[in-house]
Structure 1
């Protein structure tokens, strides 16, 4: 949702900087600019939890914020680990049925009925991908569910058969003979797509791999002629792990140079998928596996989202689907029953930067330091906004450094800027910290509180100079 923007006092740089850089803003879109999908930042909702998310007020409110800022609703993928534990029941009245010992647990098995798809059909304006079970090797059941989805949902975008098949174990019913391998999985995906497509159409999402040793280019080869049934390819991506007591590291997560290096690994897969005439998604992603560790609810994770999304676009990722897991037991979730978390501020801020008019982006920095600088361009090739992110880690215990950034090649009229800030990278909204976008905050239902105040930046001689503190980001309106 757009909000009134108030103008603050003229911003004057008076701080001592640990870093100073100058970037020339190209007056017209460079040939290297990367296209930005209208649903670049999208959402993945855990399968069993999806009906519950439709009952949480903040789900629709947060999604509407993104839709308003971008001019297109975020796409939604409904899937995850529990899609491969789910059995469709045509006669089930409820959307889902399962039993758990605690509300914080995910079910080991569940059934779902036709009303599941009615709820999905209610995600108006969103492209919805439905994940269905392949691990249990019951194609007839999954096909029945797929046909129900097709008949119930005008917003059905794709059907995903199986979640992270690279993790299927020896007890998985789909493994009927021999050793489960990328080739065996590719042949299985080929068989299922060939058998189901006459009833569903050519709308399958293939791959869905987490392990980097299982790669999409090899799957493309194995699919062979069945690729005509494939609409999209999905890769899952988590930079860190919080599984089985693994430790996480916030400075590493939010480091600009680390993000650049990490996302670059997907460029070749994206190129192969695009060469095949398909779209390439990070179809499930977030900061750390197993619901996220202590890093995931922090302001640093919000800053990571901003940089990570833009790097995704620069390396050929069409959409990034940020996973939302068990409601009330999900450190990386953007919202839940009581709190709109710090990460959502990053979601909102990067959506503001891209806007309804941004169609392509470039990175002006080298990708090797703590300072990131991006420019978004209009369809006419004109620069609209610059985003500066200082990924130097600040934990609130020492003097906070700043970077001085000079943008050149601008008109001499005054500019406005909007600041995403918090007391420290470790700040958490659920612990009472003040995370703000120009002073704007969100309540527990994701409603905006207050109005944004922009800072006035003087521009002369075609230059504008701004200061960005460590663990902070700034949008400059060009």
Structure 2
């Protein structure tokens, strides 16, 4: 499934949605780029990444997690939309800054207790009770729970971890940097710790360095290693395909180190810009395109799961992913394959920046190796890279969009049909636009 449809701004409590534009065939084009679709997984000289059943997830700030599930009505609708499309609930992670300020209080009947001078602020001190974990346990997908390391109170952490293990039926991991043995032993579980969660990029510190310090007693308690990543920058730099590819390659050594000892590697927390996002960057369509491309590139690089405030569509029902492009230009092409190893979908993306004025170029793609007489496609588009839902310019995916505030789907689903001749077909994609081609 292709796209980042649910970019979420926790400060404004909205999920940006989508609206359609038609392709203008008269727009300027450049020479066609040709990609040959492998007829089966493992062929064509490409590298292939196996896909986790739920490779893309959502990260919730610790102190507002209960509000998202109980007060923000769009949350359940968006998660339900996702589940309807992919058949599985997206994985969630509960943590970030306020996780390291939160003390467990077994006696409080509240989800979480804190006070702030302004509703947009994050509390410096907070407590949470058993009800917090009970609420997390109602979620249908896998859950990673981050617990307090900053206060250096391991007894309080163990008390919270025990409640997490007993109440969260789909608990995937407890987020930890150290104390792995004591916490794991206390809850009676191995393969339970999400270790790492570094902000500094490799090689300053990462999984390879941490693994080198761990002995055989510690490693069985670690389920996977995690990294935080916020690339930042302008809309144009953020969404540029080659920049995304280079950013993901930063973590190659870490991923290999984790795989070498049979562990997964995840982006435990990531988004465009840290600190809740940048007002002129994060809510835009260009940032949404970045999320799409970034999530796919990370998955291709054997990042098992990526926890965003968003969702994607190219991966639904797929078992493997490969990249057809070199990663060195503004033009991207991804292919997914079904459980039998046969081609399922191809995503074509043009990261050339279009700000809404002047000529909007188009790029022609030719796909070869097609076996059907026709193929269908859905277009992800908006008026420009700077389009924003909250400013009345929502993007669309296949003619449909998601309501701001409600996450309800509106519009008529629209497919573009292209004829195949001699096993090949051509497609036009505009600057700052993507096209999802269905091969089955």
Q: TM-score, normalised by structure 2?
A: 0.90
Structure 1: distance between partners of 2:27 and 2:152: 63
Deviation at 1:71?
2.1
Segments of 5+ residues of structure 2 without an aligned counterpart are 2-21
Say if 1:238 and 1:158 are closer, same or farther in 2 by CA, change over 3 A. same
Alignment equivalent of 2:65, drawn from 50, 55, 59: 50
**Greater length-normalized contact order (CA 8 Å, ≥ 6 residues apart):** 2
Structure 1: distance between partners of 2:24 and 2:336: 25
Counterpart of 1:305? 291
Counterpart of 1:423? 383
Equivalent residues of 2:28, 2:360 under 8 A apart: no
Structure 1: distance between partners of 2:398 and 2:180: 49
Deviation at 1:15?
4.0
Equivalent residues of 2:176, 2:196 under 8 A apart: no
Deviation at 1:450?
2.0
Counterpart of 1:178? none
Q: SS of the counterpart of 1:63?
A: helix
User: What are the residue-to-residue correspondences of 1:66-465 with 2, within 5 Å?
Assistant: 66-124=82-140, 126-161=141-176, 189=178, 192-200=179-187, 201-202=189-190, 203-212=192-201, 213-225=204-216, 226-240=218-232, 248-293=233-278, 294-322=280-308, 324=309, 334=310, 347=311, 350-351=312-313, 353-356=314-317, 358-443=318-403, 444-465=405-426
Segments of 5+ residues of structure 1 without an aligned counterpart are 2-9, 163-188, 241-247, 325-333, 335-346
Equivalent residues of 1:87, 1:110 under 8 A apart: yes
Q: SS of the counterpart of 2:299?
A: helix
Deviation at 1:13?
5.1
Deviation at 1:14?
4.9
Q: SS of the counterpart of 2:131?
A: helix
Structure 1: distance between partners of 2:228 and 2:315: 24
Structure 1: distance between partners of 2:215 and 2:81: 41
- Which protein has the bigger helix share? 1
Deviation at 1:30?
2.6
Counterpart of 1:330? none
Q: SS of the counterpart of 2:63?
A: coil
Equivalent residues of 2:34, 2:366 under 8 A apart: yes
Deviation at 1:268?
1.5
Deviation at 1:73?
1.2
Equivalent residues of 1:359, 1:376 under 8 A apart: yes
Deviation at 1:379?
1.5
Q: TM-score, normalised by structure 1?
A: 0.83
Structure 2: distance between partners of 1:452 and 1:19: 30
Say if 1:12 and 1:196 are closer, same or farther in 2 by CA, change over 3 A. closer
Deviation at 1:65?
1.7
Equivalent residues of 1:412, 1:461 under 8 A apart: no
Deviation at 1:267?
1.6
Aligned-residue CA RMSD (Å): 1.7
Say if 1:52 and 1:11 are closer, same or farther in 2 by CA, change over 3 A. closer
Say if 1:79 and 1:412 are closer, same or farther in 2 by CA, change over 3 A. closer
User: What are the residue-to-residue correspondences of 1:17-32 with 2, within 5 Å?
Assistant: 17-30=29-42, 32=47
1:149-186 Cα deviation digits (max 9, x unpaired): 11112111111136xxxxxxxxxxxxxxxxxxxxxxxx
Equivalent residues of 2:27, 2:360 under 8 A apart: no
Structure 1: distance between partners of 2:210 and 2:288: 33
Deviation at 1:463?
1.0
Q: SS of the counterpart of 1:196?
A: helix
Aligned residues: 409
Equivalent residues of 1:374, 1:388 under 8 A apart: yes
Q: SS of the counterpart of 1:306?
A: helix
Structure 1: distance between partners of 2:431 and 2:243: 16
Structure 2: distance between partners of 1:411 and 1:39: 29
Say if 1:434 and 1:79 are closer, same or farther in 2 by CA, change over 3 A. closer
Deviation at 1:206?
0.6
Counterpart of 1:165? none
Deviation at 1:316?
1.5
